[in-house]
Amino acid sequence: MTQHRGSAFGLDTHGVSRRSVLRGGLLGAAALAFGGSVLSACSGGGGAAGGSGLPLAAMPTYVEPPKPTPFLPGSADGVMDVYKAFPLDGARTVEGTVGDGGDFQFLVMTYGQPAPPLAENAYWQTLNAELNLNLKPVMVPYADFPTKFPALVAGDDLPEVVSLPMYMNTPRLPQLAEAKFTDLSDHLAGDAVKKYPNLAGVQESAWRNAFLGGRIYGVPKSDPIFGGQLYTKTDLFEKAGVSEHPQSLEELQETAAALTDSGSGVYAFGGPITELVLQVFGVPNKWTRTSDGTFVPHYEHEGFVPAIEAMASMYKAGSFHPDTATMDKTQRDSLFRTSRLAMTYDGNRAFGIIADDRELEFGMARSFEKDGGTPVYWTGGGAYAVTMLRKTDDAATIDRFLRVMDWLSAPFGSKESFVQSYGAEGDNYSIIDGVPVLNERGQREQDLGFAYIAGAPQILCNPQGAPGVDEAIHTWQTSVVPFLTDNPAQHLYSETANAKSGSLEQGVTDAITSVFLGRDSATALERAIATWKSNGGDKIAAEYAEAYVG
Amino acid sequence: MVAPAVVVLLLFTYIPLLGNVIAFMDYVPFLGFRDSEWVGLDNFSTLFSDGAFWNALWNTLQITALQLLLFFPVPIALAVFLHSVLRSSVKRFVQSVVYLPHFLSWVIIVALFQQMFGGAGVLNRFLITHGVTPLDIMSNPDTFKLLLTFQGVWKDAGWGTIIFLAAIAAIDIHQYEAATIDGAGATRRFWHVTLPGMRPIIVLMLILRLGDSLTVGFEQVLLQRDAVGPGAAEVLDTYVYFNGVVDGSWGTATAAGLLKGIVSLVLVLVANSLAHKLGEEGVYQR
Amino acid sequence: MTAVDRPAWLGKPNPGATALRGVALVLICLVVIFPFVVVVSTSLATQADIDANGGYVVWPASLSFDAYQQIFNGTQVTRSILISLGITTVGTAFSLVCTVLAAYGLSRKGSLFQRGLLTFVLVTLLFGPGMIPVYLMVKNLGMLNTYWALIIPGAVSAFNVVIIRGFIQGIPGELFDAARIDGASEWRVLGAIVLPLSRAAIAVVGLFLAVGYWNNYFGPLLYLNDSSMWPLQLLMRSFVLQGNVSSAAQHIPGTVPPPQQAIQMALVVIATLPILCAYPFLTKHMSKGMLTGAVKG
C-alpha cells in the first residue's frame, strides 16, 4: 500500500473500511452472506474426525437454567421470553470468587465511543470488584477489525481472550484456532460443561458456532435465531388504507404503490429488500441439502431470479426512494421516523429505529409467500460472537477463563446478570417505582464491551423503551416460528468459502444491485450466478457435502 | 545531514518493503513469513486472468487521465487568480477558506452531493416542479468518472492552491517591475513571469501526482459504487479491497500493490525525462 | 498601511476587471463555505429540524448545544484532543527537521552519495511497504503502545522531501556561492540562507504534515491497544461510521438524546477546528515574497 501524498502517514483511506458492509445498505446482503459459513459443525454424530485429527467433541449438555416467570413465555423454538422489569432480588448462580486478582485482557469490538477509563468508570470498577479481576479491554473499532486482527496475529500480540464476531469472515479460522487458541473440548464437551452451570444453560443453537474442526474452541454469546424483519410505519399505512400485513406478492406491490406519493416525497421503500423478496418467493436459506446429500445453493432455486426481478419491477414502478443506491442507515431511519419511508427491512432489534424513539408507532409485517401459501423465514446463526482463549496448557488459566464466561452467561434474573446490565447503584442506575433505570452514565460505561463477549439466551425486557414493543416483537416471533428455515451449511466449514466467499458473493451482489436498479436485465444475474458457480461455488457445494455429519 | 531521514526510511520503509515478498506467497498471518506457502507468480496470474482486474485498471487509468486534464490545472489557475487579488484582507480571508472542503470526509461530501444532485435532491425537485425531466447525476454510469473528478475539484482544488501560492510567492517581485517597465501588460506578465516562475513547482507536482496516479480515491468510490455499478466504478483500490482484503488474500493484495508501483514508476520515469526535455530538473537528474 | 497595497508598476485598476474578480471571489467563497455552514448548522440543530430537512440543515430553526454536551461528557474527548495536539506538534516538528535536512542534503550537487541517496529516497515514493511488515518492525523495536510509533515510522515522506528540495533549488545559486566562498559551513548556509528563503515551502509542508498527523487514525488503531491513549480521530471513528455514541442503546426516560446527525457533525467541527486555527498563522509565511536585498546580503 503506497503512502499517500503530502502527509507523513497517509494510509488515510487505505484503512479498510467495513462501513459499507455494515451500514445495512446494498452491501448488506453480502454481510449477511458472510456470517456463519465459516465454522464447522458437530451434529452429535460420533467418529468423524475434525480437521485436527482429534475425535469430534460432543455438544455440551443442556441444563435448563433457573429463571423467573416471564410475563410472556418464550418457546424452545426460539421465541424470546418477555419480562416487564428486571427482578431486583435475583439469586446468585456462581459460587465462590471468579478471578484471582490478576489481569484479564480481552479483545472486543466497539461500535461507538470506547468506555470511559477505569478511574471514572463506576461500572468497570464494580465488575472488577465482583469478579476479583483487573479487566483490561483492548478495543477495536468494528470497521477496522479486519485490519487490526491480522496484524495482532502476525505479531503474536493477541490478548489473552479474543472475542470474534460471527459476521466477520475470519480467514482460515479453524487452522488459526488450532494454531493460536486453546482447545476447550475437554472442559466443555458433554457433561464436562456441568462444572460451569450457566454455560450449560446456553442453547445448542449458540454452541454450534463454537465448533471448529469438530472441537470446541470458544464460548458463544447467544443471539436470537431470528434474522430480519419488515418494519412498517403505521400512520402511513392508515392514511393509505392498506394493511400492514400484506399476504401475497401482489398485495405487497399494490401496497407499495398505494403508499408511494413522490409528490410529497413519500416512498414505500428506501433500501433493498433482497432478503424479503427471496423469502417471499420461497427461496431456501442459502443452501439446501437434498436427499442424496448434495448441497444446492439458493441461487439455483427457481424463485431466486424471479424474486430479484420482482424487486426490480417495484423499483421501476417508483416505489423506492430515488436515493436508495447511496443512502445510509442513518438517513433511512430518519426518513422512516418522519414518515417519508413506509417500510424498512432491518435486523432483529433495529436499534436505530426502536430504541431511540419512544414515540415511534410502527408494526412488523408477518411473513408471507408470494401466492399466499406457506412462507419461509430464514434463521440466523444463533450467536453474536465466539470468545476464545489464547493457546495455553495451564489448567488454572483455562479454569479462570471458563469461570468468567460462566459468570457472564448467568441467566436473566440472576444477581450476576443484574450487575452486568446495571452496574453500580446510584452512579449507573437508580430504582424508580421498583424498576431499575439506567442513567446516562450507566449507559455509556457499559461500552466496556465486556457484556458482549458471552451471554445467556437473550430475552426481551425494555422497560425504558417504547411501550408495547416487547409484546409486539413476541407476537411477531411466535407468528414466524412455524416457518423457520435453517441453513444446513450454517456451521459447516468449506475451505473455498472461507478463502473466497467474500469476492465470490460480491459478484452476485453487484449483479443483484444492477438488476434491481434497472441497469441490467435478469440475464446479467444469471451470468453472475454461473460465474459464481464456476469460480468456486460448485467447489463450496462439494466441500459442504463432504463436511456434513449426521 | 540526510542521516536521520535515511535511518527512518531504512527502518520503516525499506526493510518492511521486503515484506512485499508475500506477493509471491500465499500469506497467512498466523503462519507468518516462514511458514506460508510459496506460490511464485500465481497471485499475479490470478489477477491477470480476472476480467474485473483489467476493468478496474482501465477505469483507474481513465480517472487518472481525467484528473490530470481537469483537476490538475484548477489549483494553479485558482492560485494565480487569488494572487492577483490585491486587498490583503480579502486575499487572506479567501486563502483561509478556500481549502475548507478538504477537511470534510467523503461521507459528508457524497451525502451533500446526494442532497443537491440526487434523485430527490434540490436540483431535481426544482426541475420536476417546473416540468423538466430530472437529471440523473448521481447514478449515471456513463458520467460517473466526470462526477468523481468534479467532486474531487470541489474538495481539493482549494487545498491544492496552497502549494502553488507558495510557489508564486517565491517569485522575485523585481521581475514584475522589470517586465512592466519593458511594457508588458497583465497577460504578458502572466506568461513571461508568473508561469515560468511557477514552472519548476508545477512540473514537480505533476511528476509527483503521476507517482501517485493510480490511487484515485478509495472511500469516494466505495460510497458510490453501488449507485453506478462496478463496471463504471471499480478502481484498483476497491478491486483489491474486495478481492484481497475482504477475503484475507494478502498475497493477491500485495501483488496488486506491486503492479501499481511498477506502473507508477514507468509513468514517473517518462514524465521526468519529458521534463528534462523542457529544460526542467524534474525530480531526478542523471 | 493602505488597505490596498498597489505596487506602482501595476498601473491603474480596471473597474470592470475588479468587479468580475469580485463576483468570482464571492462565488468561490460561497461554494467553499456552504458545506461548512451546513455542517455547523446541523451540529446545532434539533432532531425535528434534521428530520424535516432530510438529514442536513442549512439554517437551524432553534439552536441546541446538546450534541456538544454529549461529546464532552466525561474527560475522554478532552484528553484525546490534548493527545492529538501533542502528537501533531511533536510529530510535525520531528518530521520537518528530518525532511528539511534531507531536502537540503539532497539538493547540493556533486556530493559523493548524493545520487544514490536520492534514488534511495525516490523509490519510496512509488513502492510502499505493507501494513503487516511495518507493524512487525514497530513491534520489534519495542514501540508498540507508545506514542513514538505514531511519529517515527511515517516521519519522512519522499513527497515532502522532493517539494522542499524543489524550492531550495529555486534559490539563486549566487547566494550559495557567495556564502561558501566566505567560508561558511553547510550548517551555516542552511541556517542563514536556506531556511529563511524557503519559509513558504516549509510552512506549506508543515501544514501538510500537521494535517496528516492530526487526521491519522490508522497508526493509533494499529499500535495503541490502550484506548485511554487514543487520539481524537480514532476515538471518534466508530462513532462517525455507525452513528451511535453508545453501543448500549437503551433509553433513559425523560431525556431526549441529541440527534445522531448532530453529533456526527459536531465531531467534524471539533476535529477540524484546530487545523483551521493553525492555518492563518501559516499564511503569514506563505505570502511573503522573496526577500529583496537577499542578493546584496
Band of residue B1 on the pLDDT scale cut at 50, 70, 90: low
| CATH number, domain with residue B167 | 1.10.3720.10
**What's the rounded mean pLDDT across residues C45-60?**
72
Cβ neighbours of A140 in C, within 8 Å:
221
pLDDT at A46 (0 to 100): 31
CB atoms within 10 A of CB B125: 14
CB contact under 8 A, B248 and A170: yes
> What is the distance in angstroms between the Cα of C73 and the nearest Cα belonging to chain B?
24
- C290 Cβ under 8 Å from any chain B Cβ: yes
- Note whether C62 and C77 are within 8 A (CB): no
| CB crowding A76-90: b at 16 or more within 10 Å, else e | eebbbbbbeebbeeb
**Share of chain C residues as helix, strand and coil, in percent rounded to the nearest 5:** 65, 0, 30
Neighbours of chain C (3+ CB pairs under 8 A): A, B
CB contact under 8 A, B28 and A501: no
C-alpha cell at C139: 513491534
Domain boundaries, chain A: 103-225+382-461, 229-378+485-547
Q: Is residue B33 part of a domain?
A: no
Q: Domain A103-225+382-461 class? A: alpha beta
Residue whose C-alpha cell is 398505494:
A258
Q: What is the DSSP letter of B274?
A: H
C-alpha cell at A232: 412498517
In percent, how much of chain B has pLDDT > 70? Answer: 97
Neighbours of chain B (3+ CB pairs under 8 A): A, C
- Note whether C264 and C239 are within 8 A (CB): yes
- Is the confidence at residue B5, as pLDDT, over 80? no
Cβ neighbours of C102 in A, within 8 Å:
none
- Is the confidence at residue C224, as pLDDT, over 80? yes
> What is the distance in angstroms between the Cα of B55 and the nearest Cα belonging to chain C?
22
CA-based nearest residue to A35, from A480, A324, A382, A518: A382
- C217 Cβ under 8 Å from any chain B Cβ: no
Band of residue C263 on the pLDDT scale cut at 50, 70, 90: confident
- A137 Cβ under 8 Å from any chain C Cβ: yes
ipTM exceeding the 0.85 mark: no
CB contact under 8 A, B97 and C32: yes
**What's the rounded mean pLDDT across residues C23-46?**
85
Band of residue C287 on the pLDDT scale cut at 50, 70, 90: low
Separation of alpha carbons B50 and B30, rounded Å: 28
Residue whose C-alpha cell is 459460587:
A95
> What is the distance in angstroms between the Cα of C28 and the nearest Cα belonging to chain B?
8
Chain C 68-97, CB below 8 Å of chain A: which residues?
73-76, 91, 95
Q: Is residue B248 part of a domain?
A: yes
The residue among C151, C242, C264 with the most chain A CBs within 10 A of its CB, best to mutate, is C242
pLDDT at B171 (0 to 100): 79
Q: Is the dihedral of CA B184, B189, B191, B193 positive or negative?
A: positive
Q: Is the dihedral of CA C135, C138, C141, C144 positive or negative?
A: negative
CB contact under 8 A, A151 and C252: no
CB atoms within 10 A of CB A530: 12
CB contact under 8 A, C126 and B265: yes
Q: Is residue B30 part of a domain?
A: no
Q: What is the DSSP letter of A468?
A: T
**What's the rounded mean pLDDT across residues C251-259?**
58
- B108 Cβ under 8 Å from any chain C Cβ: yes
CB contact under 8 A, A110 and C261: no
Distance between alpha carbon A381 and the CA centroid of its chain, in Å?
Answer: 7
Band of residue B284 on the pLDDT scale cut at 50, 70, 90: low
Q: Which of B98, B109, B284 sits opposite C118 (nearest CB)?
A: B284
Q: Which domain holds residue B148?
A: 44-277
Cβ neighbours of A16 in C, within 8 Å:
none
Residue with more model confidence, A358 or B204: B204
Cβ neighbours of B245 in A, within 8 Å:
16, 146-147
Cβ neighbours of B110 in A, within 8 Å:
326
Band of residue B154 on the pLDDT scale cut at 50, 70, 90: confident
In percent, how much of chain B has pLDDT > 90? Answer: 0
CB contact under 8 A, A334 and C55: yes
The three-state secondary structure class of A426 is: coil
Which bin fits A42, alpha (ψ -120 to 50), beta or left (φ > 0)? beta
Which bin fits B213, alpha (ψ -120 to 50), beta or left (φ > 0)? alpha
- C280 Cβ under 8 Å from any chain B Cβ: yes
Band of residue C87 on the pLDDT scale cut at 50, 70, 90: very high
Averaged pLDDT of chain C: 77
CB contact under 8 A, C102 and B20: no
How far, in Å, are A507, B30, C68 from residue B251 at the CA level? 20, 14, 44
CB contact under 8 A, B5 and C287: no
- The chain C residue lying nearest B29, using CA atoms, is C132
- The chain C residue lying nearest A8, using CA atoms, is C154
CB contact under 8 A, A443 and C159: no
pLDDT at A501 (0 to 100): 83
CB contact under 8 A, A443 and C250: yes
Q: Mind listing the pLDDT tens digit of every residue in chain A (550 residues)?
A: 222 222 222 222 222 233 222 222 233 333 333 233 333 332 333 333 344 567 888 888 888 888 888 888 888 888 888 888 888 888 888 888 888 888 999 998 887 777 888 888 899 999 999 899 999 999 888 878 888 888 888 888 899 999 998 888 788 888 888 889 999 998 998 888 888 989 988 888 889 889 888 889 999 998 888 888 888 998 899 998 888 898 899 999 999 999 998 878 899 998 889 999 999 999 999 999 998 889 999 999 999 999 999 999 999 998 999 888 878 777 788 788 888 899 988 876 665 566 556 677 888 888 889 888 888 999 888 888 899 999 998 999 999 999 999 999 988 888 888 888 888 888 888 888 888 888 878 877 887 888 888 888 888 887 776 777 888 888 888 988 888 888 988 888 888 888 888 888 888 999 999 899 888 899 999 999 999 999 889 999 999 998 887 5
CB contact under 8 A, C56 and B180: no
- Note whether A400 and A96 are within 8 A (CB): no
- Is the confidence at residue B184, as pLDDT, over 90? no
> What is the distance in angstroms between the Cα of C253 and the nearest Cα belonging to chain B?
32
- The chain A residue lying nearest C95, using CA atoms, is A8
Cβ neighbours of A11 in C, within 8 Å:
131, 218
Q: Is residue B188 part of a domain?
A: yes
Q: Report pLDDT digits (tens) over A257-307.
A: 999 988 788 999 988 899 999 999 999 999 999 988 899 999 999 999 999
Domains and CATH numbers, chain C: 74-235 (1.10.3720.10)
The residue among A1, A329, A500 with the most chain B CBs within 10 A of its CB, best to mutate, is A1
Separation of alpha carbons C169 and C105, rounded Å: 11
- Note whether A436 and A88 are within 8 A (CB): yes
Residue positions counted in chain A: 550
Separation of alpha carbons B98 and B78, rounded Å: 10
Q: Is residue B282 part of a domain?
A: no
Cβ neighbours of B9 in C, within 8 Å:
120-121, 124, 156, 158
**What's the rounded mean pLDDT across residues B142-156?**
89
Rounding to the nearest 10 degrees, give the CA dihedral for residues B71, B73, B79, B82: -90
CB contact under 8 A, B139 and A325: yes
> What is the distance in angstroms between the Cα of C17 and the nearest Cα belonging to chain B?
11
pTM for the full model? Answer: 0.82
Q: Which of A3, A334, A465 sits opposite C51 (nearest CB)?
A: A334
Number of structural domains, chain B?
1
**What's the rounded mean pLDDT across residues B187-196?**
81
The residue among B13, B28, B30 with the most chain A CBs within 10 A of its CB, best to mutate, is B30
> What is the distance in angstroms between the Cα of C31 and the nearest Cα belonging to chain A?
23
Superfamily per CATH, domain A229-378+485-547:
Periplasmic binding protein-like II (3.40.190.10)
- Is the confidence at residue B85, as pLDDT, over 90? no
- Is the confidence at residue C285, as pLDDT, over 90? no
Residue with more model confidence, A388 or C271: A388
Cβ neighbours of A352 in C, within 8 Å:
243-244, 260
The residue among C1, C2, C6, C9 with the most chain B CBs within 10 A of its CB, best to mutate, is C9
- A462 Cβ under 8 Å from any chain C Cβ: yes
pLDDT at A32 (0 to 100): 31
Cβ neighbours of B200 in C, within 8 Å:
166, 169-170
